[in-house]
Amino acid sequence: MTLLITVFAPIVAIAAGGGHAQLFLTLFVMYVAAKLAAELFERLKQPAVAGEILAGIVIGPSVLQLVAPTELTNALSEIGVVFLLFLVGLETKPDDLFRVGARASLVAVLGVIVPFIAGFVLLWLWGKPHIESIFVGAAMVATSVGITARVLGQMGLLNLEVSRIILGAAVIDDVLGLIILAVVSSMAKGGVDYWQILAIAGLAIGFTIFVALVGARAVNRIRPRVARLRVGNSWLVFGLSLCLGLVLLANYIGVAAIIGAFLAGMSLSEATEDTDMPHQAEAVTEFLLPFFLISIGMQLRLDVFLSKEVILLSLLVTVLAVLTKLFGCGLAALPLGRRKAAQIGMGMVPRGEVGIVVAQLGLSLGAVSDAIYGVVLVMAVATTLIAPPFLVRLFRGEQREDSADIIPLSPIA
């Protein structure tokens, strides 16, 4: 490790004042580190996702200090996960998602209630202030569907009924989490603005339902016009424009950008079946996605483990975060059988960037201390690392449903 620092530190120092050189050095280090780690983990028969996240920890501020989270890396990370969910949406037909809507809703509701109560009670019993306990509960509610989607996409299993339930539940989970976050943020500011919360909830729910119901029909109607466009790769141009437009609209409304991207892809899923657009979108995603995965690892600061209390609390919160999603979401899916219930529960476990955003908001509002921020950060990264290996084992031996519609992102050992 010392040798690596000795070799790379001068390069980083020289590039620090080098403008474009710093930009391309950052991109180079992040991308190459992610792909080398992915290759290593696949050779070890482990999910590449876990390797890419661990690579972020190694090259980040806590270990080698080659790169640090910046506005650039955060932007690349968000763009990467946006394209991943757009690609997942392209592989998800609206009717398939509506068929599992009731089950996905129940999974999402229990997957929100159980972790929130458990997180709040744990921090309250630990002697932390009520607002801090509530923020930890809110962070435990989150689900990073990007991680699960990546693993299932690599295995070519996105069209399974279980996968559709996970995706649908994650969308509903995001809307419910947004409402909870609005309530918690209002409390941190000294009161609860009920009208604002109702407005956010109405817009978020209305936007999601409207695009899900109308999007595919609208795209199918204008399909002949898109096909007649003279610009090269007309479907890709149209698809990316729709994706960015719905991402922008989602941001204005207050919904996560990934929901807009997913809905854009789902709206195009039927119209683009006989085009090259899904494969073109896959190529773009394969370049951008590693920046999302490696950025998660870069966020973790190992100095939080200097305190025994923080170590113990981090372990307890992480274990509780895993068990509550497994129990809450799995209970809702139990009628499908124990194996499918376990698959769905584990698919909802990763907190990823969503949990980190909640922690950052709490810190900026002065609602959580630096120590609790570190605890939530550890939980978010740890659950993101824990889930992929278990998902691979739980889904091993599953057969693809309608494999012709699936675009495997890359093979997974």
In a domain, 411, yes or no: no
In angstroms, rounded to a whole number, what is the distance separating the alpha carbons of residues 316 and 376?
Answer: 11
In angstroms, rounded to a whole number, what is the distance separating the alpha carbons of residues 52 and 41?
Answer: 9
List, in order, residues 6 or more apart from 37 with CB less than 8 Å away.
48, 51, 52, 54, 55, 58
Q: 280: which 2 tokens?
A: 């073109």
Residue 144 sits at φ, ψ, to 5 deg, of -95, 90
Domain boundaries, position 143: 2-405
- What pLDDT was estimated at residue 94? 81
Provide the 3-class DSSP secondary structure of residue 337: coil
- At 113, the pLDDT band (50, 70, 90 cuts) reads very high
- At 19, the pLDDT band (50, 70, 90 cuts) reads low
- What DSSP string describes 267-316? HHTTTTTTSSHHHHHHHHHHHHHHHHHHHHHHH--GGGGGSHHHHHHHHH
CA angle 275–280–286, rounded 5-degree value: 145
List, in order, residues 6 or more apart from 75 with CB less than 8 Å away.
none
- The pLDDT tens digits of the residues spanning 27-53 come to 899 999 999 998 998 888 777 888 888
Contact 2, 31 (CB under 8 A): no
- What pLDDT was estimated at residue 48? 81
Location of structure tokens 């997913």: 262
Q: 31: which 2 tokens?
A: 């991308």
- At 189, the pLDDT band (50, 70, 90 cuts) reads low
Q: Indicate the pTM of the whole model.
A: 0.75
- What pLDDT was estimated at residue 133? 87
Eight-class DSSP state of 396: T
pLDDT, mean of residues 73-77: 86
In a domain, 412, yes or no: no
- At 203, the pLDDT band (50, 70, 90 cuts) reads confident
In a domain, 137, yes or no: yes
Quote the strand ranges of 317-366, DSSP E.
none
List, in order, residues 6 or more apart from 10 with CB less than 8 Å away.
none
Provide the 3-class DSSP secondary structure of residue 402: coil
In a domain, 413, yes or no: no
- What pLDDT was estimated at residue 191? 64
Scanning 16-100, the segments in alpha helix (DSSP H) are 20-43, 48-59, 71-90, 94-99
- What pLDDT was estimated at residue 409? 47
In a domain, 63, yes or no: yes
CATH of the domain at 204: 1.20.1530.20
Q: Is the pLDDT of residue 8 over 50?
A: no
- The pLDDT tens digits of the residues spanning 76-96 come to 888 888 888 888 888 778 877
- What pLDDT was estimated at residue 316? 93
Q: Which of 92, 136, 357 is nearest to 251 (CA)?
A: 357
Instruction: Return the percentage of the chain with pLDDT > 90, whole number.
Output: 16
Per the prediction, the chain carries an average pLDDT of: 81
Q: Is the pLDDT of residue 196 over 60?
A: yes
CA angle 181–324–114, rounded 5-degree value: 50
Location of structure tokens 């991943």: 84
How many CA atoms within 13 Å lie on the side-chain side of 178? 25
- What pLDDT was estimated at residue 140? 87
Contact 295, 118 (CB under 8 A): no
Contact 47, 147 (CB under 8 A): no
For the chain, the first-to-last Cα distance in angstroms comes to 28
Count how many domains the chain has.
1
- What pLDDT was estimated at residue 306? 76
In angstroms, rounded to a whole number, what is the distance separating the alpha carbons of residues 268 and 93?
Answer: 9
- The pLDDT tens digits of the residues spanning 261-314 come to 888 988 888 887 777 888 888 888 888 888 988 888 887 777 777 778 888 998
In a domain, 383, yes or no: yes
